[in-house]
Structure 1
Amino acid sequence: MTIITNQQLRKFLDGACDAEEESRIRRYLETPEGMLALNKMMDEAWQTEQESLPDENKTFSRILDQTTRSQRRKNNASLFYKIAALFIILAIPTYLLLKQSPQPPATPQVEVLVKKNERGQKSVIQLSDGSKVYLNSESSIKYNRYFTDSTRIIELDGEAYFEVAKDKKRPFIVSSQGYETTALGTEFNVNSRSSHYKVSLAEGRIMVNAQHKKSHSINLIPGEAVKINTQSDTLEKQTGNANDFLWISGILDFHNASIEEVTTTLERWYDVKITFNSKTKTSKKYTGRFDNASLEHVLTSMSFALDFKYKIHDKQITLTF
């Protein structure tokens, strides 16, 4: 094992070594022992320099030694900066080697996003795979900012329309209330509220199945829909209805709807609270369509058909039959 003294290191730093001695010391400094010795010398030089600084609490007699102390500080400072410069020179090759060496791939951080609409709000969300989600009012979705290499999973609460980017290797799955709707590239609407779960297909092909019973599934083609009662766990295939997609364009549509269905939809659509001024309600059914209409326009039109009066106070609506 090569032993290099501090005196030899100082000689090397002052550039006073011959070629053979300089080569031997350089090889020594590339070893852990050499770096440790250089680091120790650097600490000693720094400590000596700090101790030689003027101290206002020292006696007057020691201040008379200022000229000697000043020269010592210059020598120590010179040694300190020489060692520091050598540290930098020795560190550069190590840095370049580490930079060029293949590094293990970093584990991607899973970032979960939640988008939520309150009553009276609608939004369009662009996903990382190029898919689009049209999120209805009083609805939310939860998903990873970046999907995995095998699947694209969205958790839905409420209603949303999906325009799915085609990707044969990664199925697009919408999960809600224990049911899954799976697609590769298509457009469909999912309405999932309380015990009601309905999927309507606009284009492409999808499969709807229960998570707890994979055999309990149904396939849809454009123009078809499936309605599920999540309490009784029953599936019913239906003929598709274009009205299921109208909300995306701001069109409010009712077909043979009860007063309860109408008021629930209006509360969600306009972010209001509707109450009745009497226990008696109409049993009439309502059918009508409104294209981006104001709440007052909707209520006025409905009041003639259902025979009621209404009052609006801030976000509170009172109906009197």
Structure 2
Amino acid sequence: MVQQVAVIGAGSFGTALANVLAEKGYRVDLFARRQDQADEINEHHTNKQYLPDVALHEGIHASVDIGQVVEGKKRVVIVTPSSAFRETLKAMRPHLEQDALLAHATKGFDIDTGQRMTQLMEEVLADFDPGQFAVISGPSHAEEVSLRIPTTVVAASRSQRTAEAFQDLLMAPYLRAYTSPDVIGTEIGGSLKNIIALGAGISDGLGFGDNTKAALMTRGLSEIVRIGVSLGASQMTFSGLTGLGDLIATCTSLHSRNYRAGYALGEGKSLSEVLAQMGMVVEGVRATKAAYKIARDQSIEMPITFALYGVLFEGKSPKTAVEELMGRRRIHEMEEVAEAVSLRWES
């Protein structure tokens, strides 16, 4: 059994995961960016900014020294915003054990290159075997994990050994982990559901109903599948926890900062106002920009994503975006499926 684990990132989910591992008996070293946050975790066993009213296990030790956190660890879990991911990997690299297994739970893209997080890992940690890398994803609000509410996630890796290592690491009475070999699909589902959650929030903020949100989520899932398959993912992955499951949780819960940000946009607030009000990273904003570029460059049809891009970055009003979506040309519900299996009308 691995006795020591490093968790990189003391935000809400990183802290929740650290708490799960500490409750299982691991010594958890948690990297925090601010000294005052590290001091609070160590002295008071709380992280009130990200997980208010949650008592943290005393087995968590926080530090602002990333080298000290990762040194000697055979299991490392990275839970930082996508904007800090490359920088974090570079800071960790000199201190990592060569045989360490690394997983990330970051849902997003590198905005400059459009790369997924495991692609960044393969680039920055080029001297590691890609089979040492995994991604953890699924419908797992940190607030619920920290309250020991039953939750399921997926650990995906090119290597079955690595996926199962993180499955074993995470399994707890209230946290069940599955494995998958589809790294691409797991990352795409976890990242792009944040775009659709923004749209779901906008829909509710505009005062629309369940019909609208159900349509948005369903057609949004079609877009996620379309771009995911084009990038090499398995279509079946998007029917599982890291596709449909994560989409449902993120589009329907007030725990979701992407949903809350969308709701505020629907009420008429500007993007700058919303981001200032949130005080935390809204990954769907960056994901929209990245997915828009990929879809445009590869001629992938993603009308909901394009509409949200217009709202976020081009000053389009949410109501106008909805009107444009509703007025699009007539198509099959599942155009690609109809073409792939040669469906024909009977008359």
Settle same-fold status: TM greater than 0.5: no
Structure 1 or 2: more strand by fraction: 1
Q: Which has the greater radius of gyration?
A: 1
